Amino acid sequence: MDYRFRLWLMKNNKKVFGEGPLMLLKKVEELGSLRQAAISMQMSYSKAWKIMKQVEEELQIKLLERKIGGKAGGGSIITREAKDFIRKYEALVESVNKKIEEDVNRYFMI
């Protein structure tokens, strides 16, 4: 038997943060660009930008430092606050996963 769950944070009955924004932030960290992160996720840049803007507004933290283009081109890096938030969110997911696994094993004796 297998189990799965999804965890997202909500505010005023509206999703604020979950797997999608997490993946987007990780891709920005990996690729150094919101545009490249969006492309790698088969998402439009405008949608990625809108997601990041909404998450920043709801969490009231700055997630991305944007560098304006030029000869070397622009890009984005995730902020220290974003890294800290990702670390806390992933710790929460790990904790919930451990608890669910324990309960599944206990209730279903797997």
Q: Does 59 reside within a domain?
A: yes
- Identify the pLDDT of residue 38: 97
Q: Does 87 reside within a domain?
A: yes
Chain centre to alpha carbon of residue 66:
17
Q: Does 32 reside within a domain?
A: yes
Q: How many domains does the chain have?
A: 1
Q: Does 21 reside within a domain?
A: yes
Q: Please tell me the pTM assigned to this model.
A: 0.86
Q: Whole-angstrom Cα distance, residue 38 to residue 1? A: 35
| CATH number of the domain within which 55 lies | 1.10.10.10
Instruction: Render pLDDT for 5-38 as a digit per residue (tens, 0 to 9).
Output: 899 999 999 999 999 999 999 999 999 999 999 9
Instruction: Render pLDDT for 65-87 as a digit per residue (tens, 0 to 9).
Output: 988 776 666 789 999 999 999 99
Task: Write out the residue range of the structural domain in which residue 56 sits.
Answer: 17-108
pLDDT at 110 exceeding the cut of 70? no
Q: Does 82 reside within a domain?
A: yes
- Identify the pLDDT of residue 91: 97
